[in-house]
Homo-oligomer: A and B are copies of this chain.
Amino acid sequence: MAEAAVKLTKKDFETPLDVRWCPGCGDYAILANLQRLLPDLGIPRENFVFVSGIGCSSRFPYYMNTYGFHTIHGRAPSIATGLKTSRPELDVWVITGDGDALSIGGNHLIHALRRNVDFNILLFNNRIYGLTKGQYSPTSEIGKKTKSSPMGSVDAPFNPIMLALGSGGSFVARSIDIEAKHLQAMMRASHGHRGTSFIEVYQNCPIFNDGAFDMLTDRKVKSENVVALEHGKPLVFGKEADKGIRLVDGKLEVVQLGEGVTEGDLLVHDETNRTQAFLLAQLELPVPVGVFFREERPTLDDMMNKQLETASSKKGRGELKALLHSGETWEVR
């Protein structure tokens, strides 16, 4: 990518509009982290486009001083597909929520993932419909009591990472709203990946689902509950880095290091292995964050554009006159 002429700063990516999320909403942190990252990417500001659906999270583009499109519920991946394939030089980001991406937009999400269009999807997962004031979402746990499920939800939730892997996703990661460093690293990695990159970001909604991720963010306990995936490194976690994850008979097992178990016995993360990523995605405690899986494969935008070039170079640039005269013609005098 071309180097931006002028060095940009976070401020360049802020809009004059008031940010309209509830106080304490995790969306603020995600926004700030991305605004911090973008100047670093060396892309001219005018080449960024943020496309979103509908939801609290989908208000995001209004606060990002780039090109932006706040579209309709669930359809951001489709709109981004049209944009990116026809304008491959743009740097396209899709911002979406668990309702927007996994409920009404589920089909477009899985199709984007299989087609591998080169854009970055950030799914803000607060496990609730925020904007419509608190109904359960496809990531809400069974039994959750909400306005539309007063006796508890009976819908088994999706695991977004498993769904993305099953759809053929070529970059699948997870992070947490307020883990600034980790989140920025994930965003940077996603941006570096050619193809559809998918990051599930756990996001707290203090109004309708407060504390959903407390276990993973509370300083006192989080290191016991989160394991960071790093390619080529063994799966170690715990405040004292004293626990790890081992693979036994194809199943994951949490072990205490030291009691006859060493790091060498632990599972080493291999982000090129889709099946292992799928296994890790099923781990409930500790919760893995990081890049589960990454693979290089052709992108839709590349392939579409290459076909256009090939067609022109093989058949010659089309000429309207010749087209209209193609097939049998005859003269009337």
A156-B116 contact given A166-B278, A311-B151, CB 8 Å threshold:
yes
What residue in chain B is nearest A308 (Cβ atoms)? B151
Chain B residues within an 8 Å CB radius of A238: none
Q: How many copies does the complex hold?
A: 2
Determine if B278 and A278 form an interchain contact, defined as CB atoms under 8 angstroms apart.
yes
Chain A 192-239 interface residues, beta-carbon cutoff 8 Å to B: none
Determine if B278 and A250 form an interchain contact, defined as CB atoms under 8 angstroms apart.
no
Chain A 89-107 interface residues, beta-carbon cutoff 8 Å to B: 104-107
Q: What's the nearest-Cβ distance from chain B to residue A141, in Å?
A: 13
Is A307's CB within 8 Å of the partner chain B?
yes
Report the bound CA distance from A310 to B150 in whole Å: 13
What residue in chain B is nearest A151 (Cβ atoms)? B307
Contacting A111 at CB < 8 Å: which of B106, B151, B250, B307?
A: B106
Chain B residues within an 8 Å CB radius of A282: 274-275
Chain A 113-130 interface residues, beta-carbon cutoff 8 Å to B: 114-116
Determine if A163 and B156 form an interchain contact, defined as CB atoms under 8 angstroms apart.
no
Report the bound CA distance from A111 to B104 in whole Å: 10
Chain B residues within an 8 Å CB radius of A155: 114-115, 300
Report the bound CA distance from A207 to B110 in whole Å: 29
Chain B residues within an 8 Å CB radius of A159: 166, 168
Is A165's CB within 8 Å of the partner chain B?
yes
Is A138's CB within 8 Å of the partner chain B?
yes
List 7 A-B residue pairs with CB atoms under 8 Å apart, sorted by A's residue number: A110-B110, A114-B138, A151-B310, A158-B168, A166-B166, A274-B278, A275-B282
- 6 further A-B pairs in the complex, CB-CB below 8 A; given A156-B297, A163-B166: A151-B307, A162-B167, A166-B278, A274-B282, A275-B278, A278-B278
